[in-house]
């Protein structure tokens, strides 16, 4: 059980680290979007690649921060009943939810995205817009990153549930306002 708790901690650390790095893409998105507006309206200059770049950074933020949002329990949840459950009841809901809802959805998404992403890499895909962003495969690869990071965090939630059901205290989890424990 100690190794399970350590594994949960490592997965949490991975998603926390990725989330903190990816959060900077939000600032990049705002700055790039602002630059597009200033260049267009103040200088009369427009660049398609610059417009696409802020769309890319925005998309990458949401995809690569998915595991971090799941770590923080910041995803959409209808917790009318969940909030009233005991810790063991919550552990059962988390365990079964990850196994029967999250993992099948991630498997389907990963399976369908893999062909899509692989084709983009094989063809060295670029933007369909003239003078758009090169290396479209980089953006499309973040779909696979999403599947991996959210899947890892699903494994961590299973680990937490198993620890609770086994009578052990799981590693402290976090929320948007800070660590719990």
For residue 179, what pLDDT is reported? 54
Give tens-digit pLDDT for 109-120: 999 999 999 999
The closest alpha carbon to 105, from 93, 116, 97, belongs to 97
Which residue in this structure is represented by tokens 């260049």?
39
In tens, the pLDDT along 22-65 reads 999 999 999 999 999 999 999 999 999 999 999 999 999 999 99
DSSP-assigned letter for residue 98? I
> Furthest-apart CA pair in the chain: how many Å?
65
CB distance 165 to 95 below 8 Å: yes
Average pLDDT of span 2-30: 95
Taking phi over 0 as left and psi of -120 to 50 as alpha, with beta for the rest, 178 belongs to left
**Per-residue confidence (pLDDT) for residue 79, from 0 to 100:** 75
**Residue 77 in this model has a pLDDT that exceeds 90:** no
CA pair distance 68, 74, nearest whole angstrom: 9
First-to-last alpha carbon distance for the chain, in angstroms, is 19
Higher-confidence residue: 127 or 170? 127
Q: 153 and 144 in contact (C-beta within 8 Å)?
A: no
Report DSSP state, residue 83.
G
Specify the pTM: 0.90
Mean pLDDT value of segment 158-163: 96
86-110 pLDDT, tens digit per residue, is 999 999 999 999 999 999 999 999 9
| CB contact at 8 A, 171 and 12 | yes
Confidence of residue 176 (pLDDT cuts 50, 70, 90): low
Count of residues in the chain: 181
Q: Which of 48-52, 75-79, 159-163 has the lowest mean pLDDT?
A: 75-79
């Amino acid at each position: 059980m100690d190794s399970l708790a350590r594994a949960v901690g490592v997965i949490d650390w991975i998603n926390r680290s990725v989330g903190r790095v990816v959060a900077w893409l939000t600032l990049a998105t705002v700055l790039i979007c602002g630059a597009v507006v200033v260049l267009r309206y103040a200088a009369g200059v427009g660049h398609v690649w610059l417009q696409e770049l802020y769309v890319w950074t925005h998309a990458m933020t949401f995809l690569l921060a998915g595991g971090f949002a799941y770590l923080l329990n910041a995803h959409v949840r209808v917790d009318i009943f969940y909030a009233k459950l005991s810790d063991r009841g919550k552990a059962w809901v988390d365990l079964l939810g990850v196994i029967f809802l999250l993992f099948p959805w991630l498997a389907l998404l990963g399976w369908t995205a893999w062909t899509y992403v692989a084709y983009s890499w094989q063809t060295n895909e670029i933007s369909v817009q003239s003078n758009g962003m090169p290396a479209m495969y980089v953006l499309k690869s973040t779909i696979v990153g999403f599947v991996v990071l959210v899947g890892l965090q699903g494994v961590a939630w299973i680990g937490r549930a198993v620890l609770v059901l086994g009578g052990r205290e799981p590693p402290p989890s976090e929320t948007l306002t800070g660590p719990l424990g």
